[in-house]
Structure 1
Amino acid sequence: MNNEQCFLLDCLRAYLNGTSINDEYEIDCDSLFSLAMAHNLAPVVFSVARNNPVLLGCKKSYEAFKDAFYDAIVCYDMQKDAISEIDGFLTDNGIDHVFFKGSQLKEYFPVPELRLMSDIDLLIRLEDRSRAKTVFLKNGYTITEDNGPVYNYKKDNILVECHTKIVSGKVGNANAEEFFEDAINHATFENHRGTLDVQYNLMYLLTHIAHHFWFYGAGAKMILDLAVIIKHFNPSIDAVVDNMKDLHLDEFARVIFTVCYDWFNVGKAYDCDTDKAKEFLISHGAFGNTNRSIAAVVKRKALEEGHTSTLATRLSLLFPSYKKMKNIPYVKFIEGRPYLLPFGWIYRIIYNLKNKKAFVKEATSTLANDETEAEAKKEIKFFEEIGLL
C-alpha cells in the first residue's frame, strides 16, 4: 500500500477507536482527497486529520475535505428527518418495515453524521407494497422507479429505495436471493419498525460485500461497516462463518473477517492469505470503478458464463438472458412476462446509449485485447482463491 492508503486506514482506526493519528506520514494531499472520495470516506478522514500539519498546509485539499465534512452533516440531518417521517407514516398505517444497510448502520458509528449513504434502504413485505406506495405518494413523495422488487421514491433530494427483498439473483456460486427471501422474518419488531437479527445482518453484509466483489468491487467503507457492527454487538464470528456454509461463502467470510481484524482489530484472524483481498479493497474505491479495467470485468463475467470468444461476449452483452434481464431495474417490466424479452433488449440498448454511453464504450473498446483476457482470468483465479467462485 502507498502512504495515502496507509494514512486513510489509520484515520479509520482512529475514528473507530477515538484515538489520534500518526502525523509523520509524507502524503500527497490531492491524492489523499481523491482516495477518500473514491471510498466515500472523506468526512471520516477529515474528522481525525483536520489538524494534520501536512493537510493544513494544502489549502485546496483542506477546503475540499472541509466541504465534504459539512455536506455530510447536512445530508445526515435531512436523511434522519426523512427516516423519522417514513417510520411515522408507515407505522400509522400498520406497515411492517426494516431500515437496513446505511440507514441502520450509521447509528452505530462513533459519529453517525459522517457515515455517508446515497439513499435510504427500506424493507417491507411484498403484500404491503401497494399500500406503501399509496402512503408514500400521499406524503409528498414521487415514484421514480416501480419495477421489480425495488420501488424508488424521491422527495426534496432524498431518495428512498423500498425493497421487498434484500438480494436479487446469485452472488458468486450462491443462490443468495433464495437464501434471503424471508429476510423480514429475521427482524425483531417494536410496533411496526423492525431490526434485523445481528448475526443474520452480518451474513447479509458479507453477502453484500461478495456481491460488490463479484460485480465491480468493494471498498474500505464496507469493512468499516463490519467493524462497527462487530464492535457494537460482539457477535460470534465463528457462528456467522459456519452459517455462511449454506451460501457457499464461508471461505470468503473468513477472508473478509481476517481483513477486518487486521485493519481494525475486531472480528477474527483466520489462517488465510488476505494480501490480494486487501489490495483489491483499498485500490478500487467504494464501487470498484477506480483504477479498474471495466472491459476486464466484462470479459471475466463472460468467461464465467462460458463465453470464450469476443463475439460471444458481445452477443451476451447485447442480448442477456431473461433471468438476467428481469433483475435490471429499468427493464423490470418483463418480470413474469418472458415474451417481452426482445422489447427489453431494444429498450436496454436505447437506455444504455442515452445514459451510459461512456461506460459502454469503456467496457467494450478493449474486449478483444490479450491483456484484457489475461486480467479477466487473473481475477477469476483470485475469486476462486477467496471462495467467491
Structure 2
Amino acid sequence: MTSIEKNYLQMICRSCHLNEQNSDGDKENPQRETVSEQTAHQLVELAKKQYMAPFLLQDLKGTACFEYVKRQAKMMMFNYYQIEELTIKTTQLLEAEHIPYILLKGISLAACYPVPEYRKLGDLDLLILDQEKLELTKKVLKDNQYEEEEEESDHHLTYFYKFSNGRRHIIEVHYRIVGVYHYAPTNHVIDQVFSGQHLKPVIQRIEGRNYPVLPPTEYTFYMLHHMLKHYLYDGFGIRLLCDFSLYVEKNGKDIDFTQLNEWCSKSGMAYFFATIMDCCKKYLGLSKMIPGMLSIPENECDQFMTQILGGHEVGNEKQSSLVYSGTYRRANLLACFKEGHTQMKVRFPKLGRIVPIWPVLWGFTFYHFVKNTYRVRNTTLRQTIKDFKTDNQRAENLHLFEKKD
C-alpha cells in the first residue's frame, strides 16, 4: 500500500469519527500534517473515482484542490437531499396504499455518519416481500409517473423518477434481498433469514419520519452480501466499507454476533466476513472490542484494501465483466456452462423452471450473451472469459463457498 493510500485512509477515518470524544470529554482534534499540492492532487484523484470528496475537506484546506473538493461536496449534498425527497415521496405513496416495505441502505445508512450528507446516495432501494403487494406497487409507481426500466435481474425491479430540474434517479424495488448464487446452501440461508415469515422490521426515525428497516443482525448480514455481490461482479470501493464500519459501530450492542457468525459459516463466507471486519478495524476505526469470527493474516488484509482502493465507487467499471454469481473450483468450460445456466434462470425466471425446454433457453441465453459481449460490453469472447477466470481467482482468494463439491 502506498503512502498516498495510507494518508487517504487516515483522512477518511478521521472524517468518519468527527463526533468522537476523548477521555476528557472533548472532541478529538489530532494534528494534521501539511499536505503538498502534489499529494493533494493524488488524494483528490482517489476520492473522485470513489465519490468520497467531502471526507477530504478538512485536510485539504489551504491547497489549490480545496475549491474543487468543496464543489464536489456541494454536488453530493444536493444529490443527498434529492434522494431524501424521493424517499419521502415514494414511501408516502406506498404507505397510502398500505403496502408494507423495508427501506434498504440510502438515508438509513447515511444516518450512521457524523455528517449524513457526506455519504453519496446512488438510488432508492426498497424491499417488498409480499407478491400481491409487489403487483400493487407496480401499479402505484406507474400511476405516479415512475418509469419502469427493463433490466435482467433475479431480485429487483428498476424504475426511474424524473424531477422538475430534469435529474433522473433510480428506484430499485427488491422482491429478494440479493441475487441468486450458484451455491445452494447460501441461497437457502438467505431465503430463511429474509423470508416474510422470519423478518420483522424495526423502526428507524430519520429527520422526523419513521421508516421500517432491517433489524441490526439482519442488516449487517445484508450488507455483507451486498458487498460480496459487488465483489464477485467487479469489486467495490471504500464507501461500502465505511457503511459497514459505521453501522456496526453504532449498532454493535444490538447485533447478535453469534447468530451472524453462524449465518456466515453456513453461507460459506466466513473468511469474507473476517476480512471485512479486520479491514474496518485496522483502517476505518472500528472498535477492536467488536467481536469477530476469526482473524486473517495482516498481509492479506493489506492486499484486500489495496484492491478496494484501486476500484471505483462500486467496482472497477470494466465493461467486459459478466454478471457473476459465485466462485468455481476451476474456471474451465464446465464452470462457464454452469454460470451460463445460472444466467439463463435470471433471464427466464418462469420458463427456467420447465426442465425439458432448457436446451432452447440455453441457446437464447448464449445468443444474447454473444450479442451483448460485442455490442454492449464492447469486448471479445476471449477477453470476457479471461476476466471471468480473473474474477474467479479473486473470489477463491477469500475461500468463498468452500463446502461445495
- Report the TM-score, using the length of structure 1 for normalisation: 0.80
* Secondary structure of the corresponding residue to residue 194 of structure 1: strand
CA contact (8 A) 2:35 2:60 kept: no
1:95 matched to 2:99? The reply is: yes
C-alpha distance in structure 1 between counterparts of 2:327 and 2:139, whole Å: 44
Change (3 A) 1:380 1:208: closer
**Partner of residue 66 from structure 1, selected from 70, 91, 96:** 70
Indicate the residue corresponding to 1:110 in structure 2: 114
1:141 matched to 2:146? The reply is: yes
Change (3 A) 1:386 1:25: farther
Unaligned runs of 5+ in 2: 19-27, 163-167, 204-208
C-alpha distance in structure 2 between counterparts of 1:2 and 1:192, whole Å: 43
CA contact (8 A) 1:90 1:96 kept: yes
Indicate the residue corresponding to 2:343 in structure 1: 324
Indicate the residue corresponding to 1:259 in structure 2: 279
1:296-317 deviation line (CA, Å, top 9, x unaligned): x87x999936344xxx49x948
1:272 matched to 2:296? The reply is: yes
Change (3 A) 1:383 1:24: same
Indicate the residue corresponding to 1:158 in structure 2: 169
CA drift of 1:197 comes to 0.9
CA contact (8 A) 2:267 2:401 kept: no
Superposition map of 1:1-389 within 5 A: 1-18=1-18, 19-20=28-29, 22-26=32-36, 28-46=39-57, 48-51=58-61, 53=62, 56=63, 58=64, 61-125=65-129, 126-145=131-150, 148-156=154-162, 157-170=168-181, 175-181=185-191, 183=194, 184=196, 185-188=198-201, 193-235=211-253, 236=255, 238-239=257-258, 240-263=260-283, 264-266=285-287, 267-268=290-291, 270-273=294-297, 274-289=301-316, 304=328, 306-308=330-332, 312=333, 316=336, 321-327=340-346, 335-336=352-353, 338=358, 339-357=360-378, 360-361=379-380, 364-365=382-383, 379=394, 382-384=397-399
Give the counterpart letter for 1:200 in structure 2: E
* Secondary structure of the corresponding residue to residue 235 of structure 2: coil
Change (3 A) 1:144 1:66: same
1:347-371 deviation line (CA, Å, top 9, x unaligned): 34334433221xx24x8449679xx
Q: Greater helix percent: which structure?
A: 1
Change (3 A) 1:326 1:45: farther
CA drift of 1:385 comes to 8.9
1:248-291 deviation line (CA, Å, top 9, x unaligned): 2223212211111112132456532123222222233333317x
C-alpha distance in structure 1 between counterparts of 2:90 and 2:52, whole Å: 27
1:124-182 deviation line (CA, Å, top 9, x unaligned): 023322100000011111111365431111111111011100111227x5743332225
Give the counterpart letter for 2:238 in structure 1: A
CA contact (8 A) 2:186 2:268 kept: no
C-alpha distance in structure 2 between counterparts of 1:9 and 1:65, whole Å: 17
Change (3 A) 1:334 1:255: same
Change (3 A) 1:233 1:365: closer
C-alpha distance in structure 1 between counterparts of 2:314 and 2:202, whole Å: 32
Change (3 A) 1:380 1:95: closer
CA contact (8 A) 1:237 1:268 kept: no
C-alpha distance in structure 2 between counterparts of 1:335 and 1:377, whole Å: 25
CA RMSD, Structure 1 to Structure 2 (Å): 3.6
CA contact (8 A) 2:232 2:326 kept: no
1:45-87 deviation line (CA, Å, top 9, x unaligned): 33x3342x3xx2x3xx434322221111111111101100111
C-alpha distance in structure 1 between counterparts of 2:393 and 2:155, whole Å: 34
Give the counterpart letter for 1:265 in structure 2: L
Indicate the residue corresponding to 2:25 in structure 1: none
C-alpha distance in structure 2 between counterparts of 1:163 and 1:238, whole Å: 26
C-alpha distance in structure 2 between counterparts of 1:176 and 1:289, whole Å: 25
Q: Percent identity?
A: 15
Indicate the residue corresponding to 2:23 in structure 1: none
Deviation larger for 219-228 or 22-31:
22-31
CA contact (8 A) 2:235 2:314 kept: yes
C-alpha distance in structure 2 between counterparts of 1:381 and 1:82, whole Å: 39
C-alpha distance in structure 1 between counterparts of 2:336 and 2:397, whole Å: 23
C-alpha distance in structure 1 between counterparts of 2:256 and 2:184, whole Å: 20
Deviation larger for 77-86 or 62-71:
62-71
Aligned pairs, how many? 364
Give the counterpart letter for 2:82 in structure 1: M
Give the counterpart letter for 1:137 in structure 2: K
C-alpha distance in structure 1 between counterparts of 2:77 and 2:180, whole Å: 35
Deviation larger for 6-15 or 28-37:
28-37
